[in-house]
Amino acid sequence: MHPTGLHLLDYFVFALYFIAITGYGYWIYRRKQSANNTAGDYFLAEGALTYWAIGASLIASNISAEHFIGMSGSGFAIGLAISTYEWMSAATLLVVAVFFVPVYLKNKIYTMPQFLRSRYSPLVATLMAVFWLLAYVFVNLTSILYLGALALELTTGLNFYVAIFGLAIFAIAITIGGMRVIGYTDVVQVAVLVLGGLATVYLALNMVAEHFGSSGVIAGLALLREKAPDHFHMILPKGHPYYKDLPGLTVLIGAMWVNNLNYWGCNQYIIQRALGADLATARKGILFAAFLKLLIPVIVVLPGISAFVLYSNGMFQTEMSDAGGTVKPDFAYPTLLNLLPMGMKGLAFAALIAAIVASLAGKANSVATIFSLDIYKRYFDKEASDAKLVRVGKIAVAVSMLIAVLIAPQLRSLEQTYQFIQEYMSFIAPGAFAIFLLGMFWRRTTSAAALAAAVLTIPLSAAFKFWAPDIPFLDRLGWVFLMLMVLMVTMSLGQKKESPLVEIDPKLFRVEPAFVVGAVIICGILTALYTVFW
């Protein structure tokens, strides 16, 4: 087994990253310290983020250990098909930029519960706020801390529990600076994670080439397709061992759209990046994020497939198994990371930490935003000043991170953590998206119908999971979404019309020619990818 741990040069490279990111964050915080006392600036960085900062922050908050470790592990087990979450997200972001963001900005929406309160009722808003808080803390923060600590344990030999605690403290330090600090430090984080990720890809493809008597990344890529042809199909046929995870055309024309539109368009810690900007800047930022999304499978999935090919041909027999001898796909990326040369390993390690900390900070900031503005101010202190709301938000960050630290070790029994995250977030997704979709684009939708969907989304999803376990979770998500849509339409037609406070102007959906050109390029690339790797 290749020894774990960082060399002196690796520590030096990582120290440069750590000093750069914390120093830059502190400089931004001190520069705008007075502004950070207002809730709008602390939670949203109103008017402060450029389009490239918005785009980078969108990706940094999204990409984390669940991708570097979890998605790479799914690449080992399933193959390129897991990339559909990333590539279909690029198309989804275009829809969000055109149709969702204009509505939020026109109505000066700060949080997703605020939208629901304006469109429906306080009860609907509060119920969904509680759901989101629980999901962010018990699924998102917890899984990211677990995967991050697992990576540190496998690559550096650091104690698992010490790693969890250290990551949490680092993330809190970034988060308490507010969205302005998060947004601009995320630019550095994305640059580091891309460079470090590409270093690991280079190593993995070279290793595959050399193992089979060749050299170079192009040869390595060709050998991957030759040695693991079953790992290069985007659409899995029925009967495939992992069909339940990625059920055929569902990922292209089915419920993957519901999953992604809910995530990118109705998700506080994602859409929050754009809510403090004007429409043109927000759209440019989202378009930039869509281009970055196309690159992510190269960084995280190809290493997983490379590890599979090498494992299938006699390498990593010990490294890819736990103490009981069970093969663990999530070990793929850390195993490759350990083989990087000095210096490069420090860069890749910094990339991994950057992804983990940026994502933790983004999610923690959204926990603070929802709790402070939608729970605390509304139910505990309606006259709370901006300064007090900021303090409450910082306390919420610390408490949520502590809960995640205590729960994260319980995830050690999982085989593919990425699929765990996707499946359990899908319990909320169908109801949330149905409520937002009809709330935005059908004025007849009533508060009672929205409340019914909010109350039923988790029970219906749980019923499908436990009483019809053979149905793939994406198909289950789709069926629950359709059932709730029918229920909401039926209830709304049978009830008295309401007068929602949300204003929707079709003129807002017009886009600039430059955005159209970028969108066409992205759609063309996606069409080519799905055609070549069908």
Position 327 in a domain: yes
**CB within 8 Å of 441: residues ≥ 6 apart:** 504
pLDDT in tens, 340-390: 777 777 777 777 777 777 778 778 888 888 898 889 988 888 888 878 888
For residues 214-233, one letter each, b for 16 or more C-beta atoms within 10 angstroms of the residue's C-beta and e for the rest, the string is eeebebbbebbeebbeebbb
- Is 513 within a domain? no
- What pLDDT shows up at residue 3? 45
**What is the spatial distance between Cα 482 and Cα 105, in angstroms, rounded to a whole number?**
28
The predicted pLDDT at position 36 comes to: 47
Q: Rounded to an integer, what distance in angstroms lies between the CA atom of residue 130 and that of residue 367?
A: 10
Instruction: Quickly list H helices, 313-380.
Output: 332-337, 344-370, 377-379
**Within-domain flag for 488:** no
Cβ–Cβ < 8 Å for 258, 266: no
Question: Are 56 and 287 within 8 A, CB to CB?
Answer: no
Reduced to 3 states, what is the DSSP secondary structure of residue 321?
A: strand
Tokens, residue 80: 């390129």
Residue with tokens 């993957």: 256
Query: What CATH number is attached to the domain comprising 297?
Result: 1.20.1730.10
75-127 pLDDT, tens per residue? 998 999 999 999 999 999 999 999 998 988 888 887 788 889 889 999 999 99
Residue 435 located in a structural domain = no
Distance of CA 392 to the CA centre of its chain: 25
- The answer to whether the CB of 448 falls within 8 A of the CB of 488 is no
Q: Collect the ranges in the chain with pLDDT lower than 50.
A: 1-3, 34-36
In a domain, 446, yes or no: no
Cα(91)–Cα(426) distance, rounded to whole angstroms? Answer: 19
Compute φ and ψ for 327, nearest 5 degrees: -70, 130
Determine which helix (DSSP H) or strand (DSSP E) holds 271, and give its type and residue range.
helix 268-271
Assess if residue 167 is contained within a domain.
yes
Full 3-state SS string of 387-436: HHHHHHHHHHHHHHHHHHHHHHHHHHHCCCHHHHHHHHHCCCHHHHHHHH
Report the domain count for the chain: 1
Q: How many CB atoms lie within 10 A of CB 497?
A: 10
- The confidence score (pLDDT) of residue 394 equals 86
pLDDT given for residue 309 in this prediction:
92
Residues 508 and 103 sit within 8 Å (Cβ to Cβ):
yes
Q: What is the pTM of this model?
A: 0.83
Residue 405 lies in a domain: yes
Helical H segments across 96-227, by residue range: 101-106, 112-119, 122-135, 142-156, 160-175, 179-211, 217-227
For residue 286, what pLDDT is reported?
Answer: 92
Which residue is listed with tokens 């350990």?
338
pLDDT at 23: 77
Residue 485, domain member (yes or no): no
Instruction: Count how many Cα atoms sit within 13 Å of the Cα of residue 307 in the half-sphere of its side chain.
Output: 36
How distant, in Å, are the alpha carbons of 167, 292, 373, 389 from that of 130? Answer: 25, 31, 13, 18
Q: Say how far apart CA 74 and CA 153 lie, in whole Å.
A: 20
Q: Using CA atoms, how far apart are residues 189 and 247, in angstroms rounded to an integer? A: 33
Residue 254 neighbours by CB under 8 Å, 6+ apart: 247, 474, 475, 478
Question: Domain of 388?
Answer: 8-25+40-413
Q: What is the CA radius of gyration of the chain?
A: 22
